Amino acid sequence: MKSIYILILTLFTAHASLHAQSKENEIPFQLLPSGHLLVKASVEGIEGNFIFDTGAGITVFVKQFSDKLKALKKEDGGYTGFRATGERLDIDLYQVKDFNLGPIHKDWQEVSSIEANFGGLDGIIALKFLENTAFTIDYEKKVIRLETAGSIREIKKSAQILPVQLEQSRDKSLTLFSYFKVNDTLKLQFSLDSGAGKDVYRINAKYMEALGIDKSDTAHVKTITKKSEVDENFVSHIYLAQVKKLACNNTASIGIENFRAQFLEGLIYDGIIWINWLGSKITFNLDEKELLIQR
């Protein structure tokens, strides 16, 4: 996930908008300049600021927030996962009580807790929290709207359908993917990540040669390094270069041209992309393994 230290600068202005009156089936969010979705949630009545992140896999609390929870129960077992950068995370798992996100209430919910600096945030709420609920991220009204079977039927009348593939890990982690064409040549499976950050199109560096990009061409390729927010000893190597075209594999009308991509060494996927560019309203209909895109 893109570095979010700058988010602390926006938390004060976000407070009022997130408490604005909303419908019973809506969760208001603040769309931050970084492209992240900031939501309010409460656990045991303790309110916190969280990023809603479809690429996170598991809901994560920072230790400072977890320490406030009196009913926090540590599980005997743990979970080993990998960030998309390849960074290994061996995490403890916990059960938390009375978890509320808008109209959604969980008596008990499994989460992880880590010591990390998320720029004043209390954690990340993963897609798995909403896996049994169809919902729409409405970037125009800045709400996450819970859908019904009837509203899904109405949305399908005008929306474009993007097939997705779900990755479930031990019933603890959930992420989703879809196929895209890059430069009309490579068909790659990208993670759809609302937490990637604004204008993030991240592709595995092993595809650079196939796309005609020479990492040693310093006139057209910029090389940067980035430390992890979790473990500063873990450093990613990234090559920035222009890409001509990216389009949904089955819906060529959803695409982007002439953009800067990040080619990352050690990426565990073909690629990761932010989702805001897909459309103004994105409906997650996971039961049917599809996103419904309204542009």
Query: Each residue of 196-224: pLDDT tens digit?
Result: 999 999 999 999 999 999 999 999 999 99
Q: Provide the terminal-to-terminal Cα distance of the chain, rounded to the nearest Å.
A: 25
Instruction: Please state which architecture CATH assigns to domain 153-294.
Output: Beta Barrel (2.40)
Query: Given a cut of 70, is residue 18 above it in pLDDT?
Result: no
- C-beta separation of 156 from 39 below 8 A: no
In the chain, the percentage of residues whose pLDDT exceeds 90 is 82
Give the up-direction half-sphere exposure of residue 226: CA atoms within 13 A in the CB hemisphere: 21
- 102-111, 133-142, 228-237: segment of lowest average pLDDT: 228-237
Using an 8 Å Cβ cutoff, are 66 and 177 in contact? no
Q: Is the pLDDT of residue 12 over 50?
A: no
pLDDT band, residue 9 (cuts 50/70/90): very low
Alpha carbons 89 and 94: distance in angstroms, whole number:
15
Dist. CA 93–CA 141, nearest whole Å: 35
Q: What is the pLDDT of residue 242?
A: 98
Is the pLDDT reported for residue 11 higher than 70?
Answer: no
pLDDT the model gives residue 118:
83
Q: Are 271 and 203 in contact (CB under 8 A)?
A: yes
- Please tell me the predicted confidence (pLDDT) of residue 226: 86
Residue 241 has pLDDT above 70, yes or no: yes
**Per-residue pLDDT reduced to its tens digit, 88-108:** 889 999 999 999 999 999 999
SS3 277: helix
Q: Provide mean pLDDT across the span 123-137.
A: 97
Under a CB-based contact definition with an 8 Å cutoff, are residues 262 and 240 in contact? yes
> Could you tell me the two tokens for 135?
């919902």
Task: Output the pLDDT for position 202.
Answer: 97
Tell me how far the alpha carbon of residue 84 is from its chain's centroid.
11
Q: Is the pLDDT reported for residue 4 higher than 90?
A: no
Calpha distance 124→58 (Å, rounded)? 8
7, 124 in Cβ contact below 8 A? no
Q: Please, which pLDDT band fits residue 5 given cuts at 50, 70 and 90?
A: very low
* Per-residue model confidence (pLDDT) at position 119: 85
Look at residue 272 and tell me whether its pLDDT is greater than 60.
yes
Dump pLDDT digits (tens) for 20-78: 455 899 999 999 999 999 999 999 999 999 999 999 999 999 999 999 999 999 999 99
The pTM (predicted TM-score) of the whole model is 0.89
Q: CB–CB of 241/214 below 8 Å? A: no
Which part of the chain is CATH 2.40.70.10? 5-150, 153-294
pLDDT tens digits for 151-192? 999 999 999 999 999 999 999 999 999 999 999 999 999 999
CATH class of 5-150: mainly beta
Per-residue confidence band for 16, with pLDDT thresholds at 50, 70 and 90: very low
